[in-house]
Structure 1
């Protein structure tokens, strides 16, 4: 459950460069690791934001998220979101599917069926299992929470298109690697798969 402190990132880069010569080349091109954790607000706020942003452009999602917070005078509390009328949530631009996801998530947290702030103390896989019980939160969203909210260093988003594309280009593969192939390629990266993933994302910039 190592988190991304500055010293841990330095250790990670040293490990990755020694473990994988192809990745070492990517690291040299990209430069210093600047993987950062979004630690403002609560874990609940972070998951609400993640659901709002799913399958939308950054600009459109930011507008909807801003309107949602304006509706409540700030980030909504679980009780507020769970009790909200559908028309209220539709008015900020949320689809019916997404508002159902948000209300389901809020209801789980409000009823204490999901202890969102206690996730810090769990192992990565336990957190993924806890979050994916929520409608609308899949494995990828749970992995992004681990990586960018909790700062966990050994997260491998094996089905992420950016990671797959970065690997394809770096390793000279004819096709995008499958999730299973990504897992195999990533074997030498443990326990720093998050940092490797960050480098492959940045390699596409």
Structure 2
């Protein structure tokens, strides 16, 4: 992954709007290597689907409490009573998704961390989105936050699109397809671009 300072300088050079945003937010901090297994990253991402961050964190916290403060292995998750998972706050659909992930991990359908690191982005996306409940956004979160891939742009993410709208002072946010085309100019630092767009203040005025 390119250094954060290089990514910040690159984005600031795109146009005055990006330069102002980078100056406002500051340099992106260094992201330490993450050794979290893809199975765990995907289960965590499912917990966050369509939920406020604090609510999802509380659900995951209760899940860890059930397992002595440790994230449950696939076998341990499958052995957890459904009623206990519901008490954590998981919906019936999400319980099906996360237990499906545990089964897929045990079956070898989810690569381990070392294998995932060696795979291309699109190959990982294709393999993991074949699993129930796992869409492209979920895998992109894993690619960005667990595997630290430098050039991922989650165009389906409302926060990213809204951040771009505020940065540019637009009346409406771009469509995912439009943002995908716009974001080509941000490569090879699209993960850093998303990081900045997530942090655009809500009252941020365009130039």
TM-score grouping bracket, smaller chain normalisation: 0.7 to 0.9
- In the alignment, structure 1 residue 99 sits paired with structure 2 residue 95: yes
Give 2:118's aligned residue: 121
Q: Deviations over 1:177-196 (max 9, x none)?
A: 00111112212111111111
Q: Deviations over 1:78-136 (max 9, x none)?
A: 12223444233223221110000011111011011222322111111112112212212
Task: State the Cα distance separating 1:71 from its structure 2 match.
Answer: 1.8
Give RMSD over aligned pairs: 2.0
- In the alignment, structure 1 residue 61 sits paired with structure 2 residue 87: no
CA distance in 2, matches of 1:45, 1:156: 22
Give 2:205's aligned residue: none
Name the SS of the counterpart of 2:13 in structure 1: helix
CA distance in 1, matches of 2:144, 2:65: 28
Give 1:197's aligned residue: 194
Q: Summarize the alignment of residues 1-205 of structure 1 with structure 2, pairs less than 5 Å apart.
A: 3=1, 8-34=3-29, 36=31, 39=34, 41-73=36-68, 74-117=70-113, 118-204=115-201
8 Å Cα contact 2:117/2:147 also seen in 1: yes
Say if 1:140 and 1:37 are closer, same or farther in 2 by CA, change over 3 A. farther
Task: State the Cα distance separating 1:37 from its structure 2 match.
Answer: 5.4
Name the SS of the counterpart of 2:24 in structure 1: helix
CA distance in 1, matches of 2:41, 2:89: 19
CA distance in 2, matches of 1:20, 1:188: 11
Task: State the Cα distance separating 1:35 from its structure 2 match.
Answer: 6.1
Task: State the Cα distance separating 1:41 from its structure 2 match.
Answer: 4.1
8 Å Cα contact 1:38/1:148 also seen in 2: no
Runs of 4+ in 1 over 4 A off after TM superposition: none
Q: Deviations over 1:8-28 (max 9, x none)?
A: 212222222223332122112
CA distance in 1, matches of 2:173, 2:32: 28
TM-score, length of structure 2 as denominator length: 0.87
TM-score, length of structure 1 as denominator length: 0.88
Unaligned runs of 5+ in 2: 203-207
